[in-house]
Amino acid sequence: MNRIKEVLKNKGISQTWLAEQMDKSYTTINEYARNKRQPSLEDLYKIAEILQIDIKELIISNKENI
């Protein structure tokens, strides 16, 4: 499970914009965001770089009890 959708929402960034930045289709990014498909580790690093966040923010929940 990843947190791409949550991070995008918190940053006010659209899936369409991220798809353009990554040179991927909207469908691919949408599948990542809905956890229907998991990005490769390389893509996770690229997403983190584009969003200027630590990769851990994409894979670790903020919730204390998890």
The architecture that CATH gives domain 4-58 is Orthogonal Bundle (1.10)
Residue with tokens 């990843």: 2
Q: Which structure tokens are listed for 44?
A: 């996770």
Please name the residues in contact with 28: beta carbons below 8 A apart, sequence gap of 6 or more.
19, 37
Query: Minimal CA–CA distance to 5: which of 51, 49, 65?
Result: 51
Q: What span, in angstroms and rounded, lies between the C-alpha atoms of 60 and 16? A: 23
Residues contacting residue 64 through CB under 8 Å, at least 6 positions apart: none
pLDDT per residue of the chain (66 residues) written in tens, 0 to 9: 899 999 999 999 999 999 999 999 999 999 999 999 999 999 999 999 999 999 999 998 766 434
Q: What is the pTM of this model?
A: 0.87
Determine how many CB atoms are found less than 10 A away from the CB of residue 22. Answer: 16
